Amino acid sequence: MKSFVALSLLPLISALPGHGKPKPAPLKYPGLDVLAKKAGLLYFGTAIDNVVLDNKQYISIAHNRSEFGQVTPSNGQKWMYIEPQRNVFNYTMGDEIVKPAIKAGQMRRCHTFLWHNQLPEWLTSQNWTKTELVGILENHIKNEARHYYDECYAWDVVNEAYNDDGTLRSDIWLDTIGKEYIELAFKFARKYTSPRTRLYYNDYNIETVNNKSTAVAALVKDFKKRHIPIDGVGLQAHFVTGSAPSYDQISAALKLFTKLGVETAITELDVRTQLPDSAEKMAQQATDYTNAVKACVDGDDCVGVTVWDFWDPVSWVPETFPGQGNADLLDANFTRKPAYYKVSDMLGSYD
């Protein structure tokens, strides 16, 4: 979902612990990914943003395979960075995340071919005909998919196409191409990615059974009926401490999709808190995190969990929700929070 970390944060990040200094990672075995695999998941992963790649301590944790067996580029594969000018492709930012993950033996969830946000000005500053925009969409997916061919376990093909009431979001894609833009994106993705790559629809506020999640389920059912390629649904899981969905609610939402024959994943998990924080809030946050992870572990065909970064200073939350923050598993000093330990203990209980 909202993964942008402003460049204005760079001076702040540079002043935080570990920036540019080779310190040993404080996280030791077995690690969340090791425990998740023992509990039956395919991976426990994290998003990584490019703005913090020169922080040695951060990187030592992000690419610690025992902690995070899967990596998602939070920004580097989005349209504005991949195709900043029409038919001019730049894979630098995506490669900065993907290549070290490959070297570390981590899986990759790739994100995202099509979104209404973070689009380049050349695309949004003029009017296109339907035929022109379909051609632009196919060309973009073709080039990016071929560059990362067989390097991604899954691709988030379409991201956040629905409003909370279950209607389709008005944007350049819907307004110009019509509702068929979603199936076209999946067809193009299947045409140009490896046959092994899972194709996902990804969205937020679908972690309970509601108007939005039932609309996504209807899309999946229709795609399956018409043999439009779709392999999974990603539930972003951007939650708020104390008002997150319950274990039962998340489990019901997962079943809404898996009963249609697709796999699911928790793709962008974080739990933001109204500041100032407190011991009580951290305890509740730990419960909210654990409910989401446990629902995936217990659910049929929920393959894994990705946290939307693990370190508070690079969270997207404070900029987007002023007065809220502390959404991740590790604080500014790289100290594990109660949420980390409660998730770890829960995963370990399945061993």
Q: What is the pLDDT of residues 65-96, one digit of tens each?
A: 999 999 999 999 999 999 999 999 999 999 99
High-pLDDT (> 90) share of the chain, %: 91
**Mean pLDDT along residues 194-214:** 98
Quick one: pLDDT at residue 20? Answer: 45
Q: Residue 138 pLDDT more than 70? A: yes
Quick one: pLDDT at residue 330? Answer: 98
How many whole angstroms separate alpha carbon 81 and alpha carbon 49?
A: 13
- Interacting residues of 180 by C-beta distance below 8 A, sequence separation 6+: none
Q: Residue 16 pLDDT more than 80? A: no
List, in sequence order, every beta strand (DSSP E) within 12-133: 43-48, 70-73, 107-114
Structural domain range at position 198: 17-348
Q: Note whether residue 193 is domain-resident.
A: yes
- Interacting residues of 225 by C-beta distance below 8 A, sequence separation 6+: none
Using DSSP's 3-state secondary structure scheme, residue 318 falls into helix
Q: Note whether residue 274 is domain-resident.
A: yes
| CA 96 to chain centroid | 17
Give the active site residues.
160, 268
pLDDT band, residue 1 (cuts 50/70/90) = very low
Quick one: pLDDT at residue 7? Answer: 38
Quick one: pLDDT at residue 2? Answer: 40
High-pLDDT (> 70) share of the chain, %: 92
**Mean pLDDT along residues 286-301:** 98
Runs of H (alpha helix) within 53-120: 56-62, 79-82, 92-104
Q: Residue 26 pLDDT more than 90? A: no
Q: Residue 21 pLDDT more than 90? A: no
Identify the residue with better confidence: 250 or 30. Answer: 250
pLDDT band, residue 244 (cuts 50/70/90) = very high
- Interacting residues of 163 by C-beta distance below 8 A, sequence separation 6+: 169, 212
Quick one: pLDDT at residue 351? Answer: 74
Where b means 16+ CB within 10 Å and e means fewer, 60-78 reads bbbbbbbbbbbbbbbbbbb
Q: Note whether residue 166 is domain-resident.
A: yes
How many whole angstroms separate alpha carbon 317 and alpha carbon 328?
A: 10
Answer positive or negative: Cα dihedral of 209, 264, 195, 101. Answer: positive
pLDDT band, residue 12 (cuts 50/70/90) = very low
* CATH code for the domain in which residue 289 is found: 3.20.20.80
Q: Which of 11-15, 137-141, 183-187, 267-271 has the lowest mean pLDDT?
A: 11-15
Q: Note whether residue 270 is domain-resident.
A: yes
pTM of the model: 0.92
Q: Note whether residue 7 is domain-resident.
A: no
Tokens of 102: 């490959």
Quick one: pLDDT at residue 28? Answer: 53
Q: Note whether residue 4 is domain-resident.
A: no
pLDDT band, residue 133 (cuts 50/70/90) = very high
Q: Residue 10 pLDDT more than 50? A: no
Q: Note whether residue 246 is domain-resident.
A: yes
By the 8 A CB rule, do 269 and 302 touch? no
Q: At what angle do helices 279-298 and 247-258 cross, to 10 degrees?
A: 30
Q: How many domains does the chain have?
A: 1
Q: Name the nearest CA neighbour of 253 among 207, 220, 286.
A: 207
Q: Note whether residue 2 is domain-resident.
A: no
